A and B are shown apart, each in its own frame.
Chain A
Amino acid sequence: MATTSRRVLPGFTASLSVTILYLTVLVLIPLAACVMKTLSLSPAEFWAAVWTRQARAAYEFSIGASIVSALVNCVLGLLIAWVLVRYEFPGKRILDSLVDIPFALPTAVAGLVYSSLYVERGWLGQFLVPMGIEAAYTRLGVVVVLVFIGLPFVVRALQPVLESLEVEAEEAAAMLGASRWQTFRWVIVPLILPALVTGFSLSLARALGEYGSVVFVSANRPFVDQIAPMLIVAKLEEFQYGEATAIAVVLLIMSFALLIAVNVLERWSKRHYA
């Protein structure tokens, strides 16, 4: 499209220089510092830092809570996206824009509210606590707030795909005698699966790195409801930069792997569905 414009349009060198300089100072140098710090540790030191019992418990809970919340988001996100794309009802546009609130609301506010909604005297806790459901300062509480944080990712990933589904596929299924449920299960779900996996991964990645909201709803107890980012902060507060960096590297590798997976998936589904 713009192959010839390099000779015509001005500002290529200037804009590219600004871009590269900015990214180098803000992203590349800090990442290089992280690599240097990690390399300054001996393999034994690195291993001792990332594989303590407390660290393992923190990864386990971080990964477990993030996967559970991302799975819950897939179900809730599909429900909301389906309703928004397929049905007409009063208040639909308001509902559609409300879905973005978790993107716009500062995570500290989300954490603050969620920590007080589910306590015994809270708005929702007064019904749930007598039933034995305690979602304040527990593992469940962390999962619930992660569901809130990640919900828009799945909805926004699914909406455009649901909108662009071909009528003919559902037509054909119906004519061949499939029930609505069979059509949904065997025709629609396979078509939206790549988008669902993208939404799942984005929601998972966000949950893995989340700190602001969890710090309010978790009691920060090691082996119980401490997530990996909390452990990094704890190490930093003890000025143990090496250990903090080692744990951060584990988190970085996980999130980069997810980022690559999402990119590969998007390229793959573009090739297969275009």
Chain B
Amino acid sequence: MPDSQLIAARHVSTRVDHPAVRWMLIVLAVLVVGVLIIVPVINVFAQAFSAGWTTYWTSLLADADTRHSILLTLIVAPISVAANVVFGVAAAWAIARFRFPGRTLLTTLIDLPFAISPVVAGLLIVLIFGLQGYLGPWLREHDIKVIFALPGLILATTFVTLPFVARELIPVMEAIGPEEEVAAVSLGANAWQTFWHVTLPNIKWGLLYGVVLCNARAMGEFGAVYVVSGRIDGLTCTMPLRVEKLFQQLRHDDMAGSFALASILTLLALVTLAAKVSLERKTRGELAEAAATKIVGAEPLVAETVGTSA
């Protein structure tokens, strides 16, 4: 291993591009990220605060429908995330710790919601729970509202964010391996003790990483929720839907309101990103530690490569 590094260092000159080429490419890349990503993010805040702080706060807090949309998002997202955490942990335990027929198929099924357009996801829920849907007559008889109500919003959001936690946990648990859990069980720990004292501490950063990504998507979901909500102000408009509603009204003060609400969502995205960067470092450490303890006496380089490829 160190040999190849030495060789790389000796011959690195042939891989280095001409400084002019290098700087031109760097400037181009920064320009692309600047125009596509940085300018839009700054523009959200610039437009949100264009009429001053007081307008910003009144457009956020004085409008009852906007206030309700924030509350609704704060109800829907945690429920969806919690459901997907339970599912994600169960799926990762089954897939990463056992071999059984249909295991690959199960992994593909978990990824499926990522391949389905959010609008189609919403449509699927309408087909089952809508008034003309398969369960529609039964639901009406029992006076249960799913579509154009909170349960529909939760269902749609949960569907769209289903893969996040499981996808994050499966590779982490596979990399850590079952040795510690097997040891715990053979020392007499029961299932709950093994999970709580051995598995959970091992996967906690990976789990949190999945939760952060899942939550960001849950709070920002638009297409699926748009279809099932009916967009009733003060009732089924989540934050992203409210942003669109204010935008469609096309009055200048509403544009400010739209951008004010959008600035909160942008802030959420920036916090998510910061959390993601620090958690990535932590999960790398988690995996490196696991790799180091697994291969006793291995050089630290091995741990490093396992960590970075994850």
How many Å lie between the Cα of A91 and that of B126 in the bound state?
47
B132 A97 Cβ-Cβ under 8 A: no
Contact with B along A238-273 (1 / 0, CB 8 A): 010100110010011001101100010000000000
A199 close to chain B: CB less than 8 A: no
User: Known: A79-B25, A167-B7, A229-B223. Is A255-B116 also a contact (CB below 8 A)?
Assistant: yes
Q: What is the CB-to-nearest-CB distance from A251 to chain B, in angstroms, rounded to a whole number?
A: 6
B181 close to chain A: CB less than 8 A: yes
Q: What is the CB-to-nearest-CB distance from A165 to chain B, in angstroms, rounded to a whole number?
A: 9
User: Known: A9-B185, A255-B116. Is A19-B37 also a contact (CB below 8 A)?
Assistant: no
How many Å lie between the Cα of A105 and that of B45 in the bound state?
14
Closest residue of B by beta carbon distance from A30: B124
Chain A residues lying within 8 Å of B255, measured Cβ to Cβ, are: 116
B79 close to chain A: CB less than 8 A: no
User: Known: A16-B100, A27-B159, A104-B272. Is A148-B40 also a contact (CB below 8 A)?
Assistant: yes
User: Known: A22-B87, A83-B29, A167-B7. Is A216-B36 also a contact (CB below 8 A)?
Assistant: no
B41 close to chain A: CB less than 8 A: yes
A36 close to chain B: CB less than 8 A: yes
A190 close to chain B: CB less than 8 A: no
A167 B15 Cβ-Cβ under 8 A: yes
CB < 8 Å A-B pair total: 291
**Chain B, interface residues (CB within 8 Å), range:** 35 or more
How many Å lie between the Cα of A219 and that of B265 in the bound state?
24
Chain A residues lying within 8 Å of B195, measured Cβ to Cβ, are: 11
Closest residue of B by beta carbon distance from A37: B127
7 new A-B pairs (CB below 8 Å) besides A18-B91, A171-B11, A239-B132? A30-B124, A33-B128, A105-B265, A107-B240, A108-B265, A209-B118, A216-B247
Between A and B, 30 residue pairs with Cβ closer than 8 Å are: A8-B182, A11-B195, A12-B100, A19-B94, A22-B90, A27-B113, A28-B109, A30-B159, A31-B124, A33-B134, A34-B127, A79-B25, A79-B28, A80-B32, A99-B33, A104-B216, A104-B270, A105-B266, A106-B268, A107-B240, A108-B241, A108-B262, A112-B259, A208-B117, A211-B222, A215-B226, A241-B126, A241-B130, A255-B115, A256-B115
